[in-house]
Amino acid sequence: MAYDEELAERIREIVYPRPDLDERRMFGGLAFLIGGNMAVAASGKGGLLVRVAPADGDALLDGSTIAPMVMGGRELHGWLRVAPEAVDDDAALREWVERGVEFARTLPRK
């Protein structure tokens, strides 16, 4: 499944313009990187992938629309999968995108 282009455009409206922003196709989706670090992505499986502080990840899980990101059968701490229905609302999308951007800004530039 290809990523949701409409969702990618909604993310662009939130993150642009930033001088340290880059877009790359990753994980079957379209990732938005801040200083070379992935902040958020329009996932190829639908919804978002969001990078968060590993210590904060478990508290954000809700058991239905927010789940840990799993890759290769392994749960990745500090990465969340946000279901499409959790970001239908522009305010909710903005909150998730900004959460990912703020965390990516704390990381060393690549």
Q: In whole angstroms, what is the distance from residue 61 CA to residue 83 CA?
A: 11
Query: What are the residue ranges spanned by the domains of the chain?
Result: 5-105
Tokens of 93: 């999308």
Supply the pTM of this predicted model: 0.94
User: According to the model, what pLDDT value does residue 27 have?
Assistant: 78
Q: Please give the residue that has the higher pLDDT: either 42 or 110.
A: 42
5-105, CATH topology level: Aspartate Aminotransferase, domain 1 (3.90.1150)
Q: In whole angstroms, what is the distance from residue 106 CA to residue 10 CA?
A: 24
pLDDT digit string, tens, across residues 11-33: 999 999 988 999 999 978 999 99
The type of residue at 44 is G
User: Does position 7 have pLDDT exceeding 70, yes or no?
Assistant: yes
What percentage of residues in the chain have a pLDDT greater than 70?
Answer: 99
User: According to the model, what pLDDT value does residue 1 have?
Assistant: 61
